[in-house]
Amino acid sequence: MGTLRVNDRAAAIISCHRMTELHSIVDAFRPSGARIAVWVPSWLWPWEGVSSLPFFRDVGQGAGMTQQDRAVPSGMDKQGKPLLRALRGEAVWPPPVWLMRQAGRYLPEFRAMREQADFITRCMTPDIAVELTLQPIRRYGMDGAILFSDILILPWAMGQDLRFEEGRGPVMTPIRSESDLARLDEGRMMEAVAPVREALRRLRVELPEETTLLGFAGSPFTVACYMVEGGSSRDFAHIRAMMQKNPALFDRLMESLTRNTAEMLCGQIEAGAEAVMLFDSWGGILPPEAFRRHVIEPTRQIVAHIRARHPDVPLIGFPRLGGVMVAEYAGKTGINALALDTVADMAKVAEMVPETVTLQGNLDPMILLNGGEALKAEARRIRDSLRGRPHVFNLGHGVIKTTPPEHVATLVETIRDIQS
């Protein structure tokens, strides 16, 4: 079947032909009460394109083991969680890495579970959400595990109709009038998202202790775009019209979303999220003054609300397509980390924002899709350009669904190979 070696610190190095055999071998050590770190060679791993990265299983309660006894993934040290350290302003080398949409359709194990339930059911069933969140951690040993969920869970939890259609994406009953807005029920929101908090609680137990658990939400303007348009849009004509023709209604919608986003994120933190991220996918469509009012100011309010209750929890802001406004966003919102899209020059932005602000990003997902030496070269270039300042390696947008899994393995290896 394979070989097994156990040292006096109860770390097992296992080679096996099937994951079922691996699990049974590790479970045999349950009486020892140890935490087992398992390395599976790439040529034996059951999924294609996965390198020899660590797979963790908790065995018992880990009684008698010290922090120094616990094996850590390649590229990590023993001074604390690398991602949390970076988000708190430390220049960690090599930089921690996680990817937006790292739990996604590019993974065969994700596609297998996708057939079992519709999207909202997957988000709102803790067993499924936990498993989908853990899949890229098992494969790649990512430094961050972002909860499997969606930014539109918030309006759904407030009572707006929502479904996801293949080839179309989210479809919602649009909010375009006073009566539409009145149908939303803020009072039911926290109860409706209770399964999300349960998933976070379980993840804190199941994740490797070196992995940071991330919660998230959509920023108010971006969520409002979907709510008013009734889904995705090419021109956002309806929300632009509301902003101009019925600004009072738009402001009430934004106030509700700002308030409920802050409360939902606090709930995620209280359930176990160690850092949270705000995704503002569409703020970049706004001119500068509107960007200040409808992106920067709501984000500042959310950050202030969270920081008053959870002062030590880092917040990541992602003002996608923000262009020249990203420096002002970083300076005025109070975020700890600024995530950048693919068009941003990371080194230039680093000169524009305070050194206390961590930068996150920003490899082009198309480069990851295509792989090869170009992937390695661009990953090294981005990584090395920010050496000496706080940086979290990520993409400038989510993993594309046709990305070969082995390309993600190559990316993680490249970032962590400090000799390259």
Cα distances from 114 to residues 156, 216, 409, in angstroms, run 20, 21, 22
Whether 101 sits among the annotated catalytic residues: the reply is yes
Residue 393 · residue 381 · CB < 8 Å: no
DSSP string across 340-394:
--TTS-HHHHHHHS-TTSEEEEEE-HHHHHH-HHHHHHHHHHHHHHTTTS-EEEE
Q: Which region among 6-15, 72-81, 357-366, 388-397 has the lowest average model confidence (pLDDT)?
A: 6-15
Q: Identify the pLDDT of residue 54.
A: 39
Is 140 marked as a binding-site residue?
Answer: no
CB 122 within 8 A of CB 133: no
Closest CA to 415 of 51, 38, 14: 51
Confidence tier at 420 by pLDDT (50, 70, 90): low
Kindly report the backbone phi and psi dihedral angles of residue 393, in degrees, each rounded to the nearest multiple of 5, phi listed first: -75, 135
**Distance separating alpha carbons of residues 25 and 16, to the nearest angstrom:** 9
Structure tokens at 89: 């302003």
- Tell me whether residue 226 is one of the annotated catalytic residues: yes
- The larger pLDDT score, comparing residue 125 to residue 69, is at 125
pLDDT at 364 over 90: yes
Please give the torsion angle defined by the CA atoms of residues 115, 278, 195 and 176, in that order, rounded to the nearest 10 degrees. -80
What's the whole-number average pLDDT of the chain? 86
CA–CA separation, 83 vs 72, rounded Å?
Answer: 13
Active site residue 105: yes
From 150, 280, 341, 364, active-site residue? 150
96-108 confidence digits (pLDDT tens):
999 999 999 999 9
**∠ CA(370), CA(420), CA(73), 5° rounding?**
85
Binning pLDDT at 50, 70 and 90, where does residue 1 land? Answer: very low
Phi and psi at 86, nearest 5°, equal: -65, -40
- Residue 143 is a catalytic residue: no
Contact 89, 358 (CB under 8 A): yes
From the list 85, 226, 320, 383, the catalytic residue is: 226
Count Cβ atoms within 10 A of the Cβ of residue 166 and give its class: 0-12 exposed, 13-18 middle, 19 or more buried.
Answer: exposed
Tokens of 398: 């989510």
Q: How many helices (H) and strands (E) would you count in the chain?
A: 19, 13
Predicted local confidence at residue 115, as pLDDT: 87
Residue 101 counted as an annotated binding residue:
yes
> Residue 89 annotated as binding?
no
Q: What pLDDT digit, counting tens, does each position of 154-165 carry?
A: 999 999 999 999
Indicate the pLDDT class of residue 393, thresholds 50, 70 and 90: very high
11 is in an annotated binding site: no
Report cis status (omega within 30 of 0) of the bond before 362.
yes
- Please tell me whether 226 is known to bind a ligand: yes
- Our measurement of the distance from residue 400's CA atom to the centroid of its chain's CA atoms, rounded to an integer in Å, reads 15
Residue 167: predicted pLDDT = 83
> Is 127 marked active-site?
no
| Higher-scoring residue by pLDDT: 46, 303 | 303
Say what percent of the chain tops pLDDT 70.
81
Query: What distances in angstroms separate CA 107 from CA 51, 101, 112, 132, one per listed residue?
Result: 14, 11, 9, 10
Residue 37 has pLDDT above 80, yes or no: no
pLDDT in tens, 207-258: 999 999 999 999 999 999 999 999 999 899 999 999 999 999 999 999 999 9
Give the integer Cα–Cα distance in Å for 73 and 219: 32
Say what the pLDDT of residue 345 is.
94
Chain centroid to CA 114: how far? Answer: 19
Taking the C-alpha atoms of residue 136 and residue 101, their distance in angstroms, rounded to an integer, is: 10
What pLDDT does 354 receive? 92
- 76-416 has which fold? TIM Barrel (3.20.20)
Euclidean distance between CA atoms 266 and 289, whole angstroms: 29
Provide the phi-psi class of 213: left if phi over 0, else alpha when psi is between -120 and 50, else beta: beta
Task: Consult the annotation and say whether 241 binds a ligand.
Answer: no
Q: One of 9, 58, 114, 163 is an active-site residue; which one? A: 114
Identified catalytic residue from 9, 105, 201, 252: 105
**Residue 240 is assigned to a ligand binding site:** no
- Residue pLDDT, tens place only, 313-348: 999 999 999 999 999 999 999 999 999 999 999 999
Q: What are phi and psi of 211, to 5 degrees?
A: -95, 130
Q: Tell me the domain boundaries of the chain.
A: 1-71, 76-416
- Name 316's bridge partners: 277, 337
Nearest residue to 309 via CA among 278, 267, 257, 273: 267
Look up tokens 């994700």; give the residue: 110
The one catalytic residue in 57, 70, 88, 101 is 101
